[in-house]
Structure 1
């Protein structure tokens, strides 16, 4: 017994194309057959040209292959390794960017903290300027900044 699932598989496997092949039995059939073959050949040539152009474009995109004449298999191999290299480079740059962003935030927080302390020093004792200078020096040393 054939269930629905198997019947669908059988029908799709045995289904004929929408337009059955024409064998040239008469002059009209031969003409129609030649037209269909010419159309099919043109489509196939267009498809092959597109694939060829795509391989040329891919070869030009891979720096190590831009001037070499290599097989399509070699283009794919080199393109794959170049993509892997670029992926690693992107990931390394992302990690470095994250580290720099963190350092930038930490530096920004230190600057804000220094500004607050400097404002407190300015307000604490306006008459005693020596304390203010020493306070700033201590603050800058804490921030690892040296002025000479």
Structure 2
């Protein structure tokens, strides 16, 4: 036979997974945020290329394209790896 057992405890209230209400941004605010984040991204990239030109000897005092900077950076890293390998072999 089937016996139904009732629980005396009250069900625990479920916490809502929703975030508290936030005001929605206007299109103009969204656009301004997008522009600001894009400018920050570009400035970060620019700073990275500037740092590469400062630490790679063949890039100093020369105006290079971004692709040239990347290729010369790769060449310099490969040179350093070869040099380290040769020094370890001594």
RMSD (CA atoms): 1.5
Match of 2:47 in 1: 53
Q: Please say which structure displays the higher CA radius of gyration.
A: 1
Secondary structure at 1:68's aligned position in 2?
coil
With normalisation by structure 2, the TM-score equals 0.70
Pairing 1:89–2:83 present: yes
The secondary structure found in structure 1 opposite 2:45 is helix
Deviates more, 1:31-40 or 1:74-83: 31-40
Structure 1 outlier segments of 4+, above 3 Å: none
In structure 2, list runs of 5 or more residues that go unmatched: 1-23
Provide TM-score, normalisation by structure 1: 0.43
Per the TM alignment, residue 80 of structure 1 is displaced from its structure 2 partner at its CA by 0.5
After superposition, the C-alpha distances for 1:76-117 in whole angstroms (9 at most, x for unaligned) are 110000001100000000001xxxxxxxxxxxxxxxxxxxxx
- Structure having greater relative contact order (Cα 8 Å, sep ≥ 6): 2
SS at match of 2:26: helix
User: How many aligned residue pairs are there?
Assistant: 67
